[in-house]
Structure 1
Amino acid sequence: MTTSRGRARLGVLVPFTNGNLEPDLVLMRPDGVSLHSARMGGYDEDEVPDAAQMQGLGAADLDGPLSLLLGVKPDVVIYGCTSATLTHGPAFDRALADRIAAASGAKTVTAAGALVHALTALNVKKIGFASPYVPAINDMAVGFLGDLGFETVSRAEVDATLGNHEQGALDPDAVYALGLRANSVAAEAIVLSCTEMRSVEVIDRLEQRLGKPVVTSNQAIMFETLGALGIGGGMQGFGQLLEKGGR
């Protein structure tokens, strides 16, 4: 019998249109770990999530959603948008994590920081990159990772400009195809960035096809979170990263 609570509580700050982060985290959560969320604004639901929109989300005031989230006394607070800090740069991402940690007293994980943590744990330097973002955000994401020592040697983009809900509506087969297009001989791992994209469901399938690690935003979040909680032991079904166990 599995248990839904009692071991640790995860507090998740979620962009208000995002419908896939929470289901992914529930899918990957260990026994006894519960999930609690609060929604963030700062962007326009009906606008294309371009650099300006995502920078607006990253810069939005978190006092309201964070204060409500802290009512459940989470052990870890997760900032659940990758592009909101990718578009501002590594220093902004670290400063945001520090501010959340100071305000909450909890360990803090950001989606962008979790990608970096995961690639470091895998000892990977050269990546293939894909996301549902507009090309300008992909440029910023590649620059963010480049500033931290990761070289993007191949890259794939979606064929259309996707709105907030359209990004989440990409089905796993479309995400799988995107991951294949991001691959190259030189890439040591594939990165699928975006907490709204349904990447978790195709990790094992892609790894079996490509013979290399696949890192996704939500999988990386869970990996770093498990490490922050001191929960070890491999987890099957979500790629080589989680088979390593959190650390």
Structure 2
Amino acid sequence: MTALGFLYPGHSAEDDYPRIEQLLGSDVRLDLVHTETGEDAHRVDVLRQMGAPERLASGVGQLRLAGSEAIVWACTSGGFVHGWEGAQEQVRTLARTAGMPASSTSFAFVHAARELEAGRVAVGAAYPDDVTGLFVEFLRAGGLEVTGVHSAGTGGAAEVGAWGEAEVLALARAADAPAAEAVLLPHTALHTAASLTVLEKELGKPVLTANQVTVWEALRLTDRRLNAPRLGVLFTREPLVQV
């Protein structure tokens, strides 16, 4: 049994994780601990505080007791708002605190795009323009070219968590660009685990979503590769990524 640990802010789309665990169909357990979010707002100051070391550290003990072998900060915006270097320091601090390999959803997107050899990507974000812009800067710092961007401009995670498949599909379509080799939907409050095959069929290309890449990143940290086609093209590829 491989136990993977996730620090998830608040309560929005955490039910994606048991669904993903089921779709993996293997000896993998996904353990999730909720972290404090404070104000539910897509503002840079709020998002930076959401990923503060003390907030992440508060959930580490539970995951360690659960036997987790790796830990991922399951919040895209709570990572990239710190910039590339700041997000790296956030992950290093988390790894030291937890005593195990660690990463975040922000880095998971970069690593997953590299795995798919998708150097050109489009971004469909539920954030306001300024926050989406920080994610685009983060992706560029990771060596990716962003060919299309769409911001839905929602106010917070609760609003995004209430979206259904129709809204997720609309976001992906609005973001897609002909030159993009993959479409990225960067919000762990989005319910996407049940819609990945629909999204990829609709767009005709890989779609990377936050909870999907978060689990994939945790598997990568533990050197596990599983074939799970219902979780998208990402879970059907041989490992390529070099980190």
Output the TM-score relative to the length of structure 1. Answer: 0.88
How much has 1:91 moved relative to structure 2?
1.2
Indicate the SS of the match to 1:35.
strand
| 1:34 has 2:26 as partner | no
- The counterpart of 2:146, out of the listed 121, 139, 152, is 152
| 1:19 has 2:26 as partner | no
* Worse-matched range after superposition: 131-140 or 197-206: 197-206
* Worse-matched range after superposition: 191-200 or 62-71: 62-71
Q: Is contact 2:147–2:180 with CA below 8 Å preserved after alignment? A: yes
Take 2:125 and 2:236, find their aligned partners in 1: how far apart are those partners? Answer: 23
* Worse-matched range after superposition: 79-88 or 198-207: 198-207
Q: Alpha carbon RMSD of aligned pairs, Å?
A: 1.9
Take 1:231 and 1:69, find their aligned partners in 2: how far apart are those partners? Answer: 19
Indicate the SS of the match to 2:133.
helix
- The counterpart of 1:209, out of the listed 202, 210, 230, is 202
Q: Is contact 1:154–1:187 with CA below 8 Å preserved after alignment? A: yes
Q: Is contact 2:53–2:93 with CA below 8 Å preserved after alignment? A: no
| 1:120 has 2:82 as partner | no
> What is the match of residue 242 of structure 1?
235
Which deviations, in whole Å up to 9, do the C-alpha atoms of 1:77-108 show, x marking residues without a partner? 12110000111111122222222222222222
**1:87–1:191 distance in 2 versus 1, CA, 3 Å:** same
Which deviations, in whole Å up to 9, do the C-alpha atoms of 1:151-192 show, x marking residues without a partner? 21111222x533221111111111011101111111111001
Q: Is contact 1:230–1:246 with CA below 8 Å preserved after alignment? A: no
Take 2:19 and 2:150, find their aligned partners in 1: how far apart are those partners? Answer: 23
- The counterpart of 2:43, out of the listed 50, 68, 76, is 50
> What is the match of residue 154 of structure 2?
161
Q: Is contact 1:28–1:222 with CA below 8 Å preserved after alignment? A: no
Take 2:19 and 2:125, find their aligned partners in 1: how far apart are those partners? Answer: 17
Indicate the SS of the match to 2:137.
helix
Take 1:202 and 1:126, find their aligned partners in 2: how far apart are those partners? Answer: 22
Task: Name structure 1 gaps, 5 residues minimum.
Answer: 1-6
Percent sequence identity is 24
Q: Is contact 1:191–1:215 with CA below 8 Å preserved after alignment? A: yes
Take 2:238 and 2:214, find their aligned partners in 1: how far apart are those partners? Answer: 13
How much has 1:34 moved relative to structure 2?
1.6
Task: Name structure 2 gaps, 5 residues minimum.
Answer: none
- The counterpart of 2:218, out of the listed 221, 225, 229, is 225
